[in-house]
Each structure stands twice: as C-alpha cells, then as structure tokens.
Amino acid sequence: MKTFTLFLFSFLLISCAESSFELADDSPLPHYFQISDSTDRADYRVEYRIYQDRAEMTLYLASSDKKLAELSGISTTHPLSKKNNSQFEYPNFSLFDFNGETEILELRRADAIIYVVHENDIIEYFDSINSIKPETFEVRTDVELNNGEKWKANPETISGVANLKKLITEFNQIDNSDSIADLSSSLETEFKLIFKNCTMTGAAHDQLHNYLLPILGMMKKLKTPPVEDQQNELKKMKKYLTKFDSYFN
C-alpha cells in the first residue's frame, strides 16, 4: 500500500487536503531564506505544505515558532524522479518554484521529513542506481573472502547494512501484508543509500555487490502477497543480513 504522503508528495492529488512536511534538522535551509550571521541553522525550522493547486514554504524561529517568512509557489515532480521511480518508491525528488527560482527537495522515506539537495546529488544518485542491471536482481552470487581475510568496507556501507538490520529487528507488524510492503520501501531507501555512499573499489567493491544483489531480490518479493510468503522472505532476509560481518569489517 503506497502511503497517502507519497501520493501527495508525488503530486498525484485527488482532493484539497493539505499535507505538511518538516525540513530535516541536518538539511541546509532553502536558499530563499537568508539568516543573520549571528544565528545558527538550528535556530530555525521550515515547514513545507502541499495543496492541490499550490505549495507553501514557511520559515519559523525554532524557539518560539514565530513565523519569519512565507513563500507560495508551485511544486512539481523532478523529471529524473519521474523517469526513474519505477524501480523504487523512495527517495522522491520535487521542485519548488517561487517566482522562477527553484529549490530541489528530497523525501527519503515514508515520513514527513524533507531535505534540500542539489541537481548533481540527484544525477549521481540515479547513475549509481541505474548501474545495477535488472537481470542480476535474483542472482545469488557467492561472496568470497580476501585470501581468508575480511574485506575492508567504508563506514557508510557498514552503517547502511546496520540500518537494514535495525529496520527488520524493530518491525513488529509481520501479520500485515501492506505493512510488510511498506517496510520493503524503507529498506529500499536504505539500500540505495548504501550504493550511493559506497567508496569501495576493485575486488572489495565487486564482492560487496555480490553480497548486496540478493537483498534487492528479497526486497522486491516483500512487496508481493500472500502474507505467508512475505513473512518467509522477511525471515530469510534477516538471516542473510547477519552474514555481512563474516565478509566485511
């Protein structure tokens, strides 16, 4: 089940209902808002609201929720996001246009948190994802050690796999088919970040791909009922993720 939030953010709006998003604390502020040098980014928060016919971006003073500025503009799906979202639901990129000046916003998962990003970030992201060939999704390639030793993984890869494990461990709605499908979307978001942030090269990089590609196939199966099959795939994926530490450190 695709969330209502995603429908709104993708601008497939069918009513006048409002959807509200909060700018992540670690995201830079939209370039429209110029703040004093005597203040910090943490002193401000930004709310982003999407309507059927417009979008609004509001800057607040975080300590008092005092409204400092509000912009009304047009929001559309980024062309690259529209072109490539057949593989995954997230991240979802949109364009906010205020008087001809554009800001790119990213929704990374099915929550209400957005990030300001740059065009190059999107291009690099989709380049990394599109380098994965669909015909390899279901292939289970054996992972080999480095002459009996573990491969050195970059910190972002290690934390990314840890996030996959955490999402599955904390998931407690295993009897609900739609909830498992939603979990798959969250796993896919983390999975793509692993590819995006990977700095490994050579044989280590190849072995990481050998390890990761079966996970992609498992995530795809998590979206397909019946729930019994989804539950079995979830158990399978949880067990498979424990093997990461046997090959990488």
Domain ranges of the chain: 4-120, 136-247
Percent above pLDDT 70 for the chain: 84
Per-residue pLDDT for 58 more than 80? yes
Q: What are phi and psi of 11, to 5 degrees?
A: 65, 30
User: Which alpha helices (H) appear in 17-103, and where do they start and end?
Assistant: 79-84
**Region 42-50 average pLDDT:** 96
**Region 83-89 average pLDDT:** 62
pLDDT (tens digit, 9 = 90+) per residue, 191-222? Answer: 888 877 888 888 888 888 888 888 888 888 88
The pLDDT score that the predictor gives to residue 121 is 76
Per-residue pLDDT for 16 more than 80? no
Q: How many CB atoms lie within 10 A of CB 248?
A: 22
Percent above pLDDT 90 for the chain: 45
| Nearest-5° Cα angle at 219, 2 to 138 | 135
Least confident of 14-23, 42-51, 169-178: 14-23
Residue 212 near residue 163 (C-beta atoms within 8 A): no
Q: How many CB atoms lie within 10 A of CB 100?
A: 6
In the structure encoding, which two tokens stand for residue 54, read together? Answer: 């417009």
**Region 221-225 average pLDDT:** 86
**What residues contact 42, with CB distance under 8 A and at least 6 apart?**
25, 62
